[in-house]
Structure 1
Amino acid sequence: MNRIAQGLVLVLLGAASLSATLATDLYLNYVQEVFRPFLIGAGVVLVVLGVVSIAADVRVASQGGDAPEDHAYDDYAHAGHGHDHGRGPGVAWLLLLPVVAVFVIAPPPLGAYSASNGAAAEAPKEAEEGGFADLGTNGDGPRTMELQEFVMRAWTDQDRALSGREVELTGFVVPHPDGKGWYLARLQMACCAADAIVNRVLITGEKEPAKDTWWTVRGTWQEPKGELQDVRDHRFTVTEMKDVENPPDPYE
C-alpha cells in the first residue's frame, strides 16, 4: 500500500464516520447520541489528513520526484537490508473493513438474538432520593414510559404504584425460550452497543408477533403475589397493541 492509497483509506474512513452521523442516524445503532459531535470531529480530521497526504504525494510525483522519505531508504532497501518504507504494510487494507460495514453491510442494531443470549438482564438500582414521580390515575389516560422505567418501578417500588395503572410500552419482540408467551424488550446502553443490557416484560395473553418486529402495547402490570423472583419476568396484560415502523432510536 503506497502513501496515496493510505491517504485514500483515511478519506474513506472519515467519509464513513460523517455519513453515519450527518447523512443518516446510523450511528445510533452503535453508540449514544452524545457521541455524535466526537464522531463528526474524528471524521473531519481523517478526511483532512487523507486529502493532505494524497495532495502532497501527487505534488511530488508531478514534479518528477519521489516522496521525501523514499530517498533515505533507497540504498538500504536495494542492498537487501530492509524494505521500502514509502509503503505501508498490506494488512493496512483491513482498515477498509469498517468502510465496507457502513456503506455495504450497514449492521442493524442489536435485537432479539442479543436480548436472548448476549445482553444479560440486571436488577435495576433503587430510585433516586425522593422516590418515583407520581403516575396519576387512569383518568389521565395511559402513561407512556420507557421499559427501563417500567422495570425499575416493578422491581423496586415498595408502594407498587404501577398496580392497576394503564401504561404504554414500546419495544421489539423476543421469543420465549420455552414457548410460554413472548417478551417485549428494549436494550439499554450506557455508552455503546457493547455494554447494552436488556429490559423486558413477559406477555402471555396475546399471539406472538414476528421476532424483532416493533410494537407499542397498552395494558397493565400483573402484580406478583409475593416478591418478584426474576427481574426478566415482569408480566404484562395487554389490552391493545399496534405495530411500530422505524423507531427513532433503537436503544433507551
Structure 2
Amino acid sequence: MVAAVNRVTQNLVLTLLGCAVLQISAFSTTYLNYVKPGFRPFLIGAGVVLVVLGIIGLVQSFRQKEASSGSDGETPAREPASYDLVPQGSAHGGSGVPASYDLASQGSAHGGSGDPAPWDGRAPGGEDHAHGHDHAHGGPRIAWLMCLPVFAIFLIAPPALGSFAASRDDTPAPRSQVLSAFTPLTGDGAVDMPISEFIGRAWDDDKKSLTDREVRLTGFVVPAKKKGQWYVTRMQIACCAADAFPLKVAVRGIEPPPTDTWVEVTGTWVPQTFGKMPNGVIYPQLSGRSLAKVAAPDEPYE
C-alpha cells in the first residue's frame, strides 16, 4: 500500500508539473522570462508528454490499488475440526461393559491433550494482516511537499531579470557584428533601435552613423554610481536566463525614474574620446531629450 501511495504522489506531481509547463508556454508568454521564443514548441511538447505520462501512471496506480483492496478483503473460511473415536480400553475385555470413547481433535494445538485449540474469532493470519494494515494507513504524507514547487510556478512565477542582475554583472557584451557592417540610418525623426545595435554603432561603426541622429531606446532603469546619469538597460540571452548579460547605455540630462521602471528614452549619441583608454567597462552615452514610461514588453530580453 505504501508503494502505491508513493506512485500516486509521483504521478500526480508529474501531471501538475506538465500542467505548469503548458500554462507558461502554451497559454501565456511567461516562458519568455526564462528562455528565447524559439523554445516554445519544445516546452509545449514536453508539457504534453509529462501530462500524458502522469495520467497513465495515475490510472495504473488506482487500478492496482483496487485490485489489492479486493484481494485483502477476502477472509478464508475456517474449516471445522475433525475428530476420531479413540477407544479407552478393550472393547472385548470380558467385563461385558462396552468400551468408552474419547473425541480426539486432529491437528490439536495442544499435542495429545485432546482439547481443541482455542479460537479468538479471527481468521488465521489475521493478526499479521491487521498489523500490516495499520502501517499502510501511515503513508508518506510528507511526499506531498513535492507539490510545493509546482504550486509556486502557478502562484508566484519568477519575473524576468531586472536591475539587481544587471547591476551585479559588469561583463562587457561580446560584439555581435563585424566592423562597418551597419546599414545607413534613413528617414526623419527618432529611430527606434535595440540597445545592442546602439552599442555596436557607438563603438564599432567607422562611418559614425549615430552622429547627430536622434534615436529611441527601450529598456528598464538601473541606477549608476556616477552622479548625474543612469542606465537604460536590456538583458541579452543566447539560450536562457542563466546566460544573460546586461546591455547598458548611460543616459545624461534626464532625471532617472524609479529603478526597474520600463521607459522609452529619446536622445542623441554623445561621442567619447579618450587620450588613454580607461580601466574597466565603458558604456556609450546618450544625451536624453525626452522620456516616457512604458509597460514591460512580453519579450523582455534582446
TM-score, normalization: structure 1? Answer: 0.82
Taking the aligned partners of 2:225 and 2:147, their CA distance within structure 1 comes to 38
1:159-198 to structure 2, matched below 5 A, reads 159-198=207-246
Counterpart selection for 2:205 from 157, 170, 185: 157
Name the counterpart of 1:114: 165
Taking the aligned partners of 1:126 and 1:48, their CA distance within structure 2 comes to 41
Name the counterpart of 2:94: none
Taking the aligned partners of 2:282 and 2:273, their CA distance within structure 1 comes to 16
Counterpart selection for 1:33 from 33, 37, 43: 37
Structure 1 position 114, deviation (Å): 0.4
Alpha-carbon spacing, 1:89–1:151, altered in 2? closer, same or farther (3 Å): farther
Which blocks of at least 5 consecutive residues in structure 1 are unaligned? 67-87
Amino acid at match of 1:239: R
Identity %: 45
Name the counterpart of 2:85: none
Aligned residues: 229
- SS of the residue 2:291 aligns to: strand
Name the counterpart of 2:54: 50
More helix by share: 1
2:291 counterpart of 1:241: yes
- SS of the residue 2:212 aligns to: coil
- SS of the residue 2:219 aligns to: strand
Kept in 1, the 8 Å contact 2:22–2:47? The answer is yes
Return the index of the structure with the highest Cα Rg: 2
Counterpart selection for 2:8 from 4, 9, 16: 4
Structure 1 position 178, deviation (Å): 4.0
Amino acid at match of 1:22: A
- SS of the residue 2:177 aligns to: coil
Name the counterpart of 1:16: 20
Kept in 1, the 8 Å contact 2:270–2:285? The answer is yes
Taking the aligned partners of 2:270 and 2:142, their CA distance within structure 1 comes to 56
1:75-154 to structure 2, matched below 5 A, reads 95-117=146-168, 119-125=169-175, 127-128=177-178, 131-136=181-186, 140-154=188-202
Alpha-carbon spacing, 1:232–1:101, altered in 2? closer, same or farther (3 Å): farther
Structure 1 position 2, deviation (Å): 1.1
Amino acid at match of 2:283: D
Amino acid at match of 2:215: V
- SS of the residue 2:26 aligns to: helix
Alpha-carbon spacing, 1:156–1:124, altered in 2? closer, same or farther (3 Å): farther
Structure 1 position 24, deviation (Å): 1.1
TM-score, normalization: structure 2? Answer: 0.69
Kept in 2, the 8 Å contact 1:115–1:198? The answer is yes
- SS of the residue 1:247 aligns to: coil
Kept in 2, the 8 Å contact 1:155–1:231? The answer is no
Kept in 1, the 8 Å contact 2:235–2:245? The answer is yes
Taking the aligned partners of 1:90 and 1:209, their CA distance within structure 2 comes to 49
Counterpart selection for 2:269 from 204, 221, 231: 221
